[in-house]
Chain A
Amino acid sequence: QSVLTQPPSVSGAPGQRVTISCTGSSSNIGAAFDVHWYQHLPGTAPKLLMHGNNIRPSGVPDRFSGSRSGTSASLAITGLQAEDEADYYCQSYDSSLSAVVFGGGSKLTVL
């Protein structure tokens, strides 16, 4: 299984707010290493959604926000839109593995 744990699926109706969790441990998120988030539609290039826990790259709507607390991080999406339907991945660094690590991904379905 993945070093970072994400729910396999999340869903919400248009306009609603959803959160996607990313749970790690004391050697990654808990050690205050930054968490980054990606949005991926299969067959397309993954897109950087958030870096440094809560920094949106240019062009990412402010409906997306990130946070980190303890050994977990979260990606929140407000005002859910059909175009948000995609896979979302978190990423951090693990000091025990000395490696970049990813979550297993969460599939967001817009109902």
Chain B
Amino acid sequence: QVTLRESGPALVKPTQTLTLTCTLSGLSLSTSGMSVSWLRQPPGKALEWLALMDWDDDKYYSTSLKTRLIISKDTSRNQVVLTVTNMDPVDTATYFCARIPGYSSSRKYWYFDLWGRGTLVTVSS
């Protein structure tokens, strides 16, 4: 079965760094054309794309958040990790990882055919 699963802390304090892990099952990060994105959805708001890492170690970031994001992968564990620095209450959201089918480096072709269930992260002191 092909799945993505997000994991990480449910609660972080303001100014702390958030680290989230996306674990792939039935898929390999080493496969040519494979990519994993991170997205988030604050309560009652729209989904927002955050970052992407592809099989070739190329990385792409949201323009508005790129100074706070780091995406990396551990191919041996089939995991993609997102780090968000200097967390703020406005970063409270459900964070998802997702795959783009037939991945192209051009964002205008991106859509997401496989998603994880998401993990809710609350930022509060």
Q: Could you give, for residues 85-125 of chain B, a 1 whenever the CB lies within 8 Å of some chain A CB and a 0 otherwise? A: 00000000000101000000001111111111110000000
* Stretch with Cβ within 8 A of A (4 or more), from B12-20, B43-51, B73-81: B43-51
* Stretch with Cβ within 8 A of B (4 or more), from A13-21, A63-71, A77-85, A95-103: A95-103
Please tell me the size bucket of the interface on B.
Answer: 20 to 34
Q: Could you give, for residues 57-77 of chain B, a 1 whenever the CB lies within 8 Å of some chain A CB and a 0 otherwise? A: 000001100000000000000
A45-B116 in contact (CB<8A): yes
Q: How many residues of A contact B (CB 8 A)?
A: 28
B116-A34 in contact (CB<8A): no
A103 CB contacts on chain B under 8 angstroms: 46
A104 CB contacts on chain B under 8 angstroms: 45-46
A100 CB contacts on chain B under 8 angstroms: 49, 107, 110
User: Which of B's residues lie within 8 Å of A, judged by CB?
Assistant: 4, 45-49, 62-63, 96, 98, 107-118
What is the CB-to-nearest-CB distance from B4 to chain A, in angstroms, rounded to a whole number? 8
A91 CB contacts on chain B under 8 angstroms: 47, 111-112
B117-A93 in contact (CB<8A): no
A98 CB contacts on chain B under 8 angstroms: 63, 107
Q: A45-B116, A105-B46 are in contact. List 17 more A-B contacts (CB 8 A).
A: A38-B112, A43-B117, A44-B117, A45-B4, A45-B96, A45-B118, A46-B112, A46-B115, A51-B113, A89-B47, A91-B47, A91-B112, A99-B49, A99-B62, A100-B107, A100-B110, A102-B49
